[in-house]
Amino acid sequence: MVVGAVAGAVLLPLLAVPAHAGSPTEPAVDLAGVRGVLRSALAQGAPGSMARIDDGGTVYQAAAGVADRGNGRAMSDADRFRIGSVTKTFTAVVLLQLVDEKKLSLDAPVNRYLPGLLPDDRITVRHVLGHRSGLYDYTNDMFAKTVTGFEAVRTKVFTPRDLVKLSLGRARTNAPGAVYSYSNTNFVVAGMLIEKLTGNPVGTEYENRIIGPLKLRDTFYVHPGMEIPGRHARGYLTPDQAGAPLVDATEQTVSWAQSAGALLSSTRDLNTFLSALLGGRLTSAAQLAQMERWMPASGSGQAYGLGLRRRDLSCGISVYGHTGAVQGFYTYAFASKDGKRALAAVANTSNNGLVLNTMLRTLDSAFCGKSVKAVKAPRGKAPVERHEDVAPALTLD
């Protein structure tokens, strides 16, 4: 049952929303709060934004603004988009399935499976999946300049070893296992492990193990193709210079990210995926427990497991999933502990810290059942977003 929808640049009145039919202790979804968040994101520079909440048999939908600035088409729940680092959770699931199949050990050195790849035999598969390897994030340098960095790689096709080599050209950030330090390099290595252990391209393994079994109709790994197939939102990159025009970043290989951030999906498919994962339908209970062995992460109220984030909300509820930032799109995809309530929210812009901070508030509205105050703009010029999943004024990594 769909209980609400908003379309176009002007938010329209909602249909009457029935009381939440779940557990009496579970807060009702605050769809009005979600709508307010989407409205704020538009005011802060996002061309469009949308959110979908799947709560048992009830679907809540809201959308605002445009999916395409060229023709003015309204944002819609049917639109596909680039999910950025939410890809990391898909990658982690495939590797944990391989652990279930006895083809991989989490505490074995990466070099056991990929001899000579890394300069330290102490770096384990677990370290890679939990961002504790110490491998430098090559995207820090790649996107030191937002637009010029993007244009330099938009059409390029890298091999995974190319990307690892870029990382190894810089000093490591910490000793293996010492601390959490977010790095896209880790999940490039994870993709290499998948391909070595299965003999298949990583996209084939996503299809065979997750996309096909869950009947995800909008989820694709098209690398090195540049286009988003079917109906989709266009993504707009905000330049570093204030007042400069947005850059349409929709078409790109995303070869700079690959298994760290190149998947396409929809709000429906992301909710289906997270509900299945947290509901125990994609891995054994033992491997899901490994994903949920939390380590402190940057930013208050956050922890990181293996390709999975935990965020502790204002009402004391914790939610589980991942964030994604790729040129042109910001995504939040999170679900309750049991997977029965899931939220996917996206704005079709990036390099705009105010929008990213604002979209975070969809989590409180979806899971806490209350509105939260708008985030105030920081004084002075916000820092420039340097790489996927890190943005000004909000530490996601």
Give pLDDT, residue 4. 58
Give pLDDT, residue 1. 58
> What is the rounded distance in angstroms from the CA atom of residue 323 to the CA atom of residue 333?
6
Is 85 tagged catalytic? yes
Give pLDDT, residue 370. 72
CA 313 to chain centre: 18
258-261-265 Cα angle (round to 5) = 110
Q: How many C-beta atoms surround the C-beta of residue 121 within 10 A?
A: 12
* Cβ atoms of 210 and 93 closer than 8 Å: yes
Q: Choosing from 49, 85, 181, 365, which is the catalytic residue?
A: 85
Per-domain residue ranges of the chain: 29-366
- State residue 275 phi and psi, 5-degree precision: -65, -40
**Domain over 29-366 is classified CATH 3.40.710.10:** yes
> What is the rounded distance in angstroms from the CA atom of residue 125 to the CA atom of residue 108?
6
Among 251, 93, 228, 223, smallest CA distance to 160 is for: 223
* Cβ atoms of 186 and 123 closer than 8 Å: no
In angstroms, the Cα distances linking 262 to 258, 259, 325 are 5, 6, 11
Give pLDDT, residue 113. 98
Among 7, 26, 6, smallest CA distance to 15 is for: 6
| Token pair of 127 as six digits | 């370290």
Residues in the chain where the model's pLDDT stays below 50: 5-24, 371-388, 390-397
- SS3 call for 247: strand
Q: How many C-beta atoms surround the C-beta of residue 172 within 10 A?
A: 19
> What is the rounded distance in angstroms from the CA atom of residue 248 to the CA atom of residue 348?
10
> What is the rounded distance in angstroms from the CA atom of residue 3 to the CA atom of residue 390?
33
Give pLDDT, residue 248. 98
